[in-house]
Amino acid sequence: MIPLIASYVIGGLSRGTVLYGLTTVIIQMHTDSSTVKYTLTNTITAVLSVSCLLGSLLGTILSPLIQNKFGRYQSLRIVSILTLCISLVTAPAIHWGYLFVCKLIGGFSTVLMVTAIPAIGAEVLDAKIRGTVGSLTNVSLQLSMVLSNVVQFFISSNSKFYPVSVVLPSVFAVLMIIICFMLKEPSEGGQQKVKVVNDNLMQRKYVKTVIVAVSLGMSIGATGLNPILQYSTIIFKDTFNSPKSGTIGSIITSSLSFVFSIIVIPMIKKYKRKSLFILGLNLILICQLTIIITLYLNPPKKTQNGIILGATFAFIFCYAFSSGSLFFVIMGEVFPVQVKTICVNIVMGVNLITLLITTFIFPLLKQQENYLLYVCWVILVQILIIVFIPETHNKTLEQIEMEMIPEEFRTKYVESMQVEHKDTIILPKIEGLTRDELIVANDQIETNAEL
């Protein structure tokens, strides 16, 4: 149990330090100390800024193939070793193309961690603690942002300190390797067998599942989290007019995000997930509308900056107990086991695409236009969540699966699950089946057992 819980924390830290460890400041330091001299243009900066996200997108595409080939546990070990290797070889400042490839591979390897770990945890952990443990991924991601910003603050004064930026990713990769080899895969006869099962997702019974995957994937990028945090650091720089005020602003906002993600853990354990999700998105809408109105009214600069920063801090808190934490919790538990691997990667793929879109268009539109786009997007996501995503709080995976499968397919689905998992008791405590369906399903299972 302890190694599994630790994997949530260290996996998030490993992913976060790779992702958040490449900022415009670090890119400039790499340019100044590079062996092959080149001129840093806006295009090169943009390409390097999305390198981790592009690698992550590639990882979500290949992750099902890798996990089906090696299994989740062995895949974790492989990508942890790969993360360590790529972190170490990133230390030399050679050329921006070399840095791009390294960060591309780093994004690829770490995204496999944050897709495999929630899937393993959801199938192994008790329903009462799944939410608490699942929220640790978001906590560790926020902590990694704080740590990366602190390191950047101390090394940014001298480009010769660029290699120090790879220390954190390397340390957490080593810890992740140790934890991966401590994880023990459940035995074949275990009550909840962790096995990558394949099924054709393009079936009518999985229509709702696909919609849920896309909706959940949009829930983070649709809020405009990355651009909003980026804009808050610009406000810090404009307000305080200090060379390091932007970095200090990053530390403040990331620290608040980390603290809020810890504060909301009891809320995730106590309250229903779907209700929290919807409440958080509604409050995020209020924060975004506040910023839009402030930008349109254009009050004095200090007043405007103060209101926007206040709304941003409120946004961070609302994000912490909605999209931030519940994204990883629900992603690990809501999908049917026969398509869990591919669905988790669809979620991550859609998430990365929305992040790329919102980050790319941010400098192209006016601030109020960006926030108006986020408002429309959040409303769409909220409607999809209300209509399609079931409540998962304190429910077994079997109960959740029955809610995800249309009623007309449930009996056959239960039978197919018994064929795939003969040693796993699935029927007890299943909700959503009628009495007649349960009788038919039991008869079919007994017949299969006799055969």
Cα–Cα distances in Å, from 418 out to 25, 119, 371, 434? 55, 20, 48, 18
- Shared domain for 348 and 257, answered yes or no, is yes
CA nearest 351: which of 59, 66, 9, 10? Answer: 59
By the 8 A CB rule, do 205 and 101 touch?
no
Q: Is residue 42 part of a domain?
A: yes
Q: How many domains is the chain built from?
A: 3
Q: Is residue 133 part of a domain?
A: yes
- Shared domain for 138 and 11, answered yes or no, is yes
The answer on pLDDT for 102 being more than 90 is yes
As a whole-number percent, the residues of the chain with pLDDT over 70 amount to: 82
- Shared domain for 227 and 354, answered yes or no, is yes
- Shared domain for 158 and 59, answered yes or no, is yes
pLDDT tens-place string over residues 166-212: 999 999 999 999 999 898 776 544 434 444 455 666 777 788 888 98
pLDDT for the residue 149:
86
Which CATH number characterizes residue 227's domain? 1.20.1250.20
Q: Is residue 400 part of a domain?
A: no
Q: Is residue 194 part of a domain?
A: no
The answer on pLDDT for 163 being more than 50 is yes
Q: Is residue 213 part of a domain?
A: yes
By the 8 A CB rule, do 199 and 404 touch?
no
Q: Is residue 195 part of a domain?
A: no
By the 8 A CB rule, do 137 and 258 touch?
no
- Shared domain for 174 and 240, answered yes or no, is no
- Shared domain for 49 and 80, answered yes or no, is yes
pLDDT tens-place string over residues 415-426: 555 544 444 444
By the 8 A CB rule, do 9 and 133 touch?
no
64's CB contacts (< 8 A; 6+ apart) are 341, 342, 345
| Kind plus residue range of the DSSP H or E element containing 261 | helix 245-263
The answer on pLDDT for 86 being more than 50 is yes
d(CA 120, CA 75): 12
Give the rounded distance of the alpha carbon of 374 from its chain centre: 19
Q: Is residue 193 part of a domain?
A: no
d(CA 265, CA 450): 47
Q: Is residue 189 part of a domain?
A: no
Q: Tell me 185's DSSP state.
A: P
By the 8 A CB rule, do 164 and 85 touch?
no
Name the average pLDDT for the chain: 80
- Shared domain for 301 and 267, answered yes or no, is yes
97's CB contacts (< 8 A; 6+ apart) are none
The model's pTM: 0.73
pLDDT for the residue 106:
93
Handedness of CA 150, 218, 354, 77 (dihedral sign): positive
- Shared domain for 106 and 20, answered yes or no, is yes
More confident call, 322 vs 433: 322
DSSP letter for each residue of 359-406: HHHTTTS-HHHHHHHHHHHHHHHHHHHHHHPPP-TT--HHHHHHHHS-
By the 8 A CB rule, do 271 and 351 touch?
no
Domain extent for 87: 1-183
d(CA 214, CA 248): 35
- Shared domain for 288 and 387, answered yes or no, is yes
3-state helix/strand/coil string of 419-435: HHCCCCCCCCCCCCCCH
Of the candidates 183, 211, 229, which is a domain's last residue? 183
pLDDT tens-place string over residues 44-77: 887 888 888 889 888 888 887 888 888 888 889 9
d(CA 203, CA 405): 11
- Shared domain for 279 and 354, answered yes or no, is yes
pLDDT for the residue 103:
93
Of the candidates 393, 420, 439, which is a domain's last residue? 393
The answer on pLDDT for 1 being more than 70 is yes
- Shared domain for 163 and 309, answered yes or no, is no
Q: What confidence category does residue 338 fall into, taking pLDDT thresholds of 50, 70 and 90?
A: confident
CA nearest 98: which of 16, 163, 155, 30? Answer: 30
Q: What tokens appear for 293 in the block?
A: 């109105």
pLDDT, mean of residues 314-327: 83
pLDDT for the residue 221:
78
Q: Between the CA atoms of 405, 410, 416 and 419, what dihedral angle is there, to the nearest 10 degrees?
A: 120
pLDDT for the residue 187:
55
pLDDT for the residue 418:
53
More confident call, 15 vs 244: 15
Of the candidates 158, 183, 208, which is a domain's last residue? 183
- Shared domain for 234 and 170, answered yes or no, is no
pLDDT tens-place string over residues 130-152: 777 877 888 888 899 889 889 98
